[in-house]
Amino acid sequence: MGVTVEVAPDAFEAEAIEIMADNRDSMLGFLAVETQWRVAATMAGMIWLGLDYNAVDVAMRRQGMPDAVFADLRTMEAEALAILNGGE
């Protein structure tokens, strides 16, 4: 497409984190839907609206996730939205 993108060598270095066993399903659920964000493009930039709950439902059912994971996903979604939309 005629576009050259330069990536810094350390751009993908990740710090290892430990996930508690009680949070395993919730973390796997969140990773399963990481591409299912609803976004609005405006003149001011992107506004992250939240997860597409239809896609979340499909992913959770297909992976056999317990219903309790959905509440955890909503908590993680709220925290992610605050960061994605410029807050912390």
Q: Tell me the longest C-alpha to C-alpha distance in the chain.
A: 47
Query: Where does the pLDDT of residue 2 fall: very low under 50, low under 70, confident under 90, or very high at 90 and above?
Result: low
DSSP string covering 3-50:
------TTTT--------GGGHHHHHHHHHTTT-EEEEEETTEEEEEE
Residue 66 has pLDDT above 90, yes or no: yes
Instruction: Name the pTM for this structure.
Output: 0.76
> Quick one: average pLDDT of 77-88?
89
CA–CA distances in Å: residue 82 to residues 34, 45, 46, 53, 78: 16, 15, 13, 18, 6
